[in-house]
Structure 1
Amino acid sequence: MQKEDCFYLGKIVSKYGFKGELLAKLDSDDPGQYEELESVFVSLGNNLIPFFIRRCQLHKTNLLRLALEDVSSEEAAERLMGAQLYLPLALLPELTGNQFYYHEVVGFRLVDQHHGDVGEIKGVNDQAAQPLFMADKDGKEVLIPVNDNFIKKVDRQDRIIHIQTPEGLIDLYLGES
């Protein structure tokens, strides 16, 4: 399994007890939907290593307590500290309406209500306080905040996100007035 075939689930943040159990902080609005996992991929080095799960339960709102097969000591758990967890893309719940996963909209076109075609989405920068669509319009990068107030419609069939941005935002990037 390759990382590009998976989605980021979360990160192992601490050990739990002395029998190899781990706590993972999940990158999810609904961590409870992952309590029934049978396996998970752990990123070690440049590889994704599959681990079967013996026991899995929610621990305080957004942490998942994991007991992995072949991890039964504090030392074995220590080797997994800080590791990232992944699951196959096929396990992502399907979203509808104007909800979307960032990886899902790469390749979609952004079309502004007043400006028209803003370009093709090349990625989403979610490292800042405000996630940004990174679009390419004829070789120029255009950054549009991923904001519910700007997104008017997600058209999955035609691969278009219809937006309405504040006046002047797109002109900053394209040099038009």
Structure 2
Amino acid sequence: MKKEDCFYLGKIVKKYSFKGELLAKLDTDEPELYDNLDAIFIDLRGNLVPFFIESSQLHKSDLLRLKLEDVLDESDADALLKCDLYLPLEFLPKLEGNKFYFHEVIGFTIKDKSFGDVGVIKAINDSTAQALFVVDRNSVEILIPMNDQFIVELNRGTSTIVMDLPEGLIEIYLNN
């Protein structure tokens, strides 16, 4: 399994018991969706390694208590501390309407209500306080804030996102 075929679920943050149980901090608004998993991928030195789950349960709202097969004691658990957890993309709940996953909209066309076709989303920059669509328009990079108030419609059938952007935002990039 390759990382690009998976999504980041969370990180193993500490041991729970002397029997090798672990606590994972989940990166989700709905941790209950991941309460009854059969298996999980753990990033061990850059490789995704599958682990079967003997038991799991939510612990203090956003932590998942895991008992993994072949993790029998504290030393086994120590080897997994601070490791990232991944699941295949097909485990993501389907989103509808204007809600989307970042990976899902790469390649979508951005259209502005007044400007028209802006360009194609080539990446998402989420390293800033405001996540940004990185849009390619004839080899010119345009950064557009991912603000719910700007998104009018997301159409998965036509791979387009219609936006109502502030006047002049796109022109800033084109008049250089």
What is the TM-score normalised by the length of structure 2?
0.95
What are the Cα deviations for residues 60-85 of structure 1, in whole angstroms up to 9, with x where unaligned? 12111111111121111111111111
1:81: which partner in 2? 81
Q: How does 1:24-173 map to 2 (within 5 A)?
A: 24-173=24-173
Q: How far, CA to CA, are the matches of 1:11 and 1:152 in structure 2?
A: 34
2:14: which partner in 1? 14
- The alignment's C-alpha RMSD in Å is 1.2
Unmatched 5+ stretches in structure 2: none
The AA in structure 2 aligned to 1:40 is I
Give structure 1 regions of 4+ aligned residues with deviation exceeding 4 angstroms.
Answer: none
Query: SS in structure 1 opposite 2:76?
Result: helix
Deviation at 1:46, TM superposition (A): 2.2
Deviation at 1:136, TM superposition (A): 0.8
The AA in structure 2 aligned to 1:18 is F
Aligned residues, how many? Answer: 176
Query: SS in structure 2 opposite 1:124?
Result: strand
The AA in structure 1 aligned to 2:164 is Q
Deviation at 1:55, TM superposition (A): 1.0
Deviation at 1:117, TM superposition (A): 1.4
Unmatched 5+ stretches in structure 1: none
How many percent of aligned residue pairs carry the same amino acid?
56
What are the Cα deviations for residues 106-143 of structure 1, in whole angstroms up to 9, with x where unaligned? 00011111111111111111222211111111111111
Query: SS in structure 1 opposite 2:77?
Result: helix
Query: SS in structure 2 opposite 1:141?
Result: strand
Query: SS in structure 2 opposite 1:76?
Result: helix
Query: SS in structure 2 opposite 1:90?
Result: helix
Q: How far, CA to CA, are the matches of 1:126 and 1:15 in structure 2?
A: 30
